[in-house]
Amino acid sequence: MLLISLLSYLHTCFIRSYRFGPPSFIFLAGIVFIYSVVPNPVMESYSFSVSFLFIISTMLSYAIIDNETMNQEAISIMHAGNIRTLYIAKLLYSWLFTVPFAIFALLYPALTYKFDRAPSITELLMSLLYHLSASWLAVAITCWFCTKFIRSRLTSFLLLTLVVVVAFSAQSINNLLPSAIQYVTILFPPVNAMMDVLYNYENHALGMKWMPIGVTMLYSFASSALFLIILNRKKQDSPT
């Protein structure tokens, strides 16, 4: 009930801020534009929309997480009882906001015959899971770039952009690194693995098709849990 009240409040604030406008428009227009040329291969196209949704979700959650001013956030914390509950709601809302975009990315090309063949139900369901886990991954990463942790909005935006670029370049970075330290790339957000499996969907066994979803969910859960633990200790700590 508390979460629903918080989600309702966050939704009112975010919708009335109109900060959802630019990323939403970019995503919707981008998807329509990409599919303006037909026909398209099914899973390879979904590979693109997964990565596109990942980027847009970082933009949306970046806007949502700091939508409240520090003073209003203090008030929300007092009413919610603690900062952890408020931020669970913020993370959840950030993800829920991307769900319609995931569904649009999935259904628009399928229902408007933009593919070279009709996608199967299994392909649609798997693609939906890929889209939803990619947007949750974006939320779980973006939360670290809120003003609680990085005061300067410019610095946090540039660092977040860097992390997104690194996430997409994980394989290339892995190839460039000496073999002794290649293991560090497992810390990178697993976007590349998702794109790779979708791009070569037919060539992968069933287990391999599920693996990126599992890895992404695990990574996202660990990232957001760690964020909430640290935030709960730090609270609103910053000089005023």
Partner 1 sequence: MMVVKDLSNALLTLKHVTKGFNDRTVLSDISLQIKRGDSIIIMGSNGSGKSTLLRLISGLIPVTAGERLIDSTGIVLGYAPDRMPKLKMTSTEYLTHMGRIAHISKQQLQARIDELHSLFQLEQSTIKMTQFSKGMLQKVNIMQATLNRPDLVVLDEPFSGLDKPSAEHLVSSLQAIQEEGASIVAAVHDPLLASQLDSTIYFIRQGKLSEEPMTDAASFNEISFEIVCYVEEELQEQLASQFPEAVFQSSDENRIIITIQKKDYNDFMTELLKNGIELFSLQRKVG
- Where does this chain touch partner 1 (CB under 8 A) — which range of 32-40, 58-66, 186-194, 227-235? 227-235
Size of residue set near partner 1 by CB under 8 A: 29
Give the nearest distance from C-beta 229 to partner 1 in angstroms. 13
Nearer to partner 1 by C-beta: 175 or 236? 236
Q: Which of 36, 69, 179, 203 binds partner 1 (CB under 8 A)?
A: 69
Q: Which has the closest alpha carbon to 46: 125, 164, 99, 163?
A: 125
Q: Which of 38, 78, 107, 158 binds partner 1 (CB under 8 A)?
A: 78
Q: Does 65 bind partner 1 (CB under 8 A)?
A: no
Residue 39 backbone class (left: φ over 0; alpha: ψ -120 to 50; beta: rest)? beta
Nearer to partner 1 by C-beta: 207 or 239? 239
CB 91 within 8 A of CB 6: no
Q: Is 34 helix (H, G, I), strand (E, B) or coil?
A: helix
Segment 11-50, which members bind partner 1 (CB under 8 A)? 12-13, 16-17
Nearer to partner 1 by C-beta: 53 or 77? 77
- Tokens 């370049």 sit at which residue? 169
Q: Does 230 bind partner 1 (CB under 8 A)?
A: no
Nearer to partner 1 by C-beta: 2 or 103? 2
Give 85-145 as a DSSP string. HHHHHHHHHHHHHHHHHHHHHHHHHHHTT-BSSPPPHHHHHHHHHHHHHHHHHHHHHHGGG
Phi first, then psi: what are they for 40, rounded to 5°?
-125, 145
Give 148-203 as a DSSP string. TT-S-HHHHHHHHHHHHHHHHTHHHHHHHS-GGGGGGGGGS-THHHHHHHHHTGGG
Q: Does 74 bind partner 1 (CB under 8 A)?
A: yes
Q: Does 206 bind partner 1 (CB under 8 A)?
A: no
CB 63 within 8 A of CB 215: no
Q: Does 63 bind partner 1 (CB under 8 A)?
A: no
Q: Does 233 bind partner 1 (CB under 8 A)?
A: yes
Q: Does 8 bind partner 1 (CB under 8 A)?
A: yes
Q: Give contact residues for partner 1 (rule: CB under 8 A).
A: 1-2, 5-6, 8-9, 12-13, 16-17, 68-69, 71-72, 74-80, 233-240
